[in-house]
Amino acid sequence: MPFELVIPRSTEPILFKTKTYSDDRGYFFESYKNSALTHLGLDDDFVQDNISFSVKDVIRGMHYQLNPMAQSKLVTCIKGEILDVVVDVRKGSPNYGKCQYNTISSDNSYVLYVPEGFAHGFIVKSESALVLYKTNREWSPENESGFVWNDPELNINWGVENPIVSEKDRELTLFKEALNNFSYKEPYSQ
C-alpha cells in the first residue's frame, strides 16, 4: 500500500503519510489514490480540487459548509509548511469544540482527511506555502459557515501574535454563534 496510517480514527480526522520517492532530482509522491483511501475506510468521491498560495503568518479559516452541502477534505501541503487546525462542530460529540493540530509540509508528505462536521483552517509557518485540498462536494457559497480564527472560547494556539487574516475571516462570528446543522452520531460497533 502506498499510504502509511499515522493517526487512526473512525469518523474523526485521519492523518496519513504517503510514500515519498526521492533522488537527486527531487521527489515524487501520490497525494491521492482512491484504492488506498478505500483501504483506510474512506469512501468519499472527491469532485473538486482547490489550491491556495499564502505567505508566512497567513491564517485561512475556520471554515466548513452546512448540510446538505457539507464537505470532507483531503489536505496536503505541496510547498512549504502549515499548521493545520480542525475543530469538531458536531453537536453532542464527546469532542465538540476540541481542536486537533497537525503540521503538514512538503518535507513530511502528510495528507489530512477532514470529514464532514469539522471546521478547518491553517496558518503558514514557512516563508510561503502551496496547499492542495480535494473536496467531496463543490463549493456552495450559500452553505458556507465558520467562526472567527481567534475565538476566545476555543483559544486556538496559532503560534503567532499578529497573523494576516482576510477581511471575510475577521468578520466571522464566534464559535457558539456560528450556523451549524451537524449532529454527532455514535460510530457503528459490532
Question: What is the DSSP code string of 137-175?
Answer: S---GGGEEE--TT-TTT----S-SS-EE-HHHHT---G
- The catalytically annotated residue of 64, 110, 113, 133 is 133
Number of domains in the chain: 1
Q: Tens place of pLDDT for every residue, the chain, 190 residues?
A: 455 544 443 478 999 888 888 899 988 888 888 888 888 888 899 999 999 999 999 999 999 999 999 999 999 999 999 999 999 999 999 999 999 999 999 999 999 999 999 999 999 999 999 999 999 999 999 999 999 999 999 999 999 999 999 999 999 999 999 999 999 987 654 4
Q: What is the DSSP letter of 107?
A: T
Does the annotation mark 120 as catalytic? no
CA 170 to chain CA mean position, Å: 19
- The catalytically annotated residue of 32, 63, 96, 184 is 63
Question: What distance in Å separates the CA atoms of residue 104 and residue 19, rounded to the nearest whole number?
Answer: 14
Question: What distance in Å separates the CA atoms of residue 184 and residue 96, rounded to the nearest whole number?
Answer: 9
User: Is residue 128 one of the residues assigned to a domain?
Assistant: yes
User: Is residue 92 one of the residues assigned to a domain?
Assistant: yes
Does the annotation mark 39 as catalytic? no
Domain that holds residue 85: 44-106+113-177
Question: What distance in Å separates the CA atoms of residue 30 and residue 21, rounded to the nearest whole number?
Answer: 10
What predicted TM-score, i.e. pTM, was given to this entire model?
0.89
CATH code assigned at 50: 2.60.120.10
Question: What distance in Å separates the CA atoms of residue 82 and residue 5, rounded to the nearest whole number?
Answer: 20
User: Is residue 29 one of the residues assigned to a domain?
Assistant: no
User: Is residue 152 one of the residues assigned to a domain?
Assistant: yes
CB 85 within 8 A of CB 125: no
Q: What grid cell was written down for 144?
A: 458556507
User: Is residue 14 one of the residues assigned to a domain?
Assistant: no
